[in-house]
A = this chain, B = another copy of it.
Amino acid sequence: MMMVVVAYDVKTSDPQGARRLRRVAKQCLNYGQRAQNSVFECLIDETNFQKLKLELLAIIDEKQDSLRFYRLGNHYQGKIEVYGAKQTLALDEPLII
């Protein structure tokens, strides 16, 4: 499994944009967790990454919206530094409740 960071900017100046924004976030939630308002961290394999990418590309308006993927690879833990609010759960550690 590899870590892919998904960052997007969706133009929400009209209702269609607001709808695209909701749909992009909803889609990303199927593959990972929200790290920030428009940044998701997805621990996925290559096949699911390609699927996610196609699904997001089908939602956004490429003339207005921006979509960026950052591949951190399998050994990603040392490549992410987090400060401040909204700590995310470590995806690959058991959740003890």
Question: Is A26 in contact with chain B by the CB < 8 A criterion?
Answer: no
Question: Is A82 in contact with chain B by the CB < 8 A criterion?
Answer: yes
Cα distance, A62 to B68, chains bound together (Å): 26
Question: Is A42 in contact with chain B by the CB < 8 A criterion?
Answer: no
B36/A68 in contact, CB under 8 A: yes
Copies of this chain, tallied across the complex:
2
Inter-chain contacts of A95 with B (CB < 8 A): none
**Which bracket fits the contact residues of A?**
35 or more
A68/B82 in contact, CB under 8 A: yes
Inter-chain contacts of A11 with B (CB < 8 A): 85
Q: Chain A 1-19 against B: per-residue CB contact (8 Å), 1 yes, 0 no?
A: 0000101110100000000
- A-B residue pairs in contact (CB < 8 Å), sample of 11: A7-B39, A8-B36, A9-B36, A9-B37, A9-B39, A9-B85, A11-B85, A61-B84, A62-B84, A63-B85, A67-B82
Interface residues of A (CB under 8 A from B): 5, 7-9, 11, 35-39, 53, 57, 60-73, 78-86
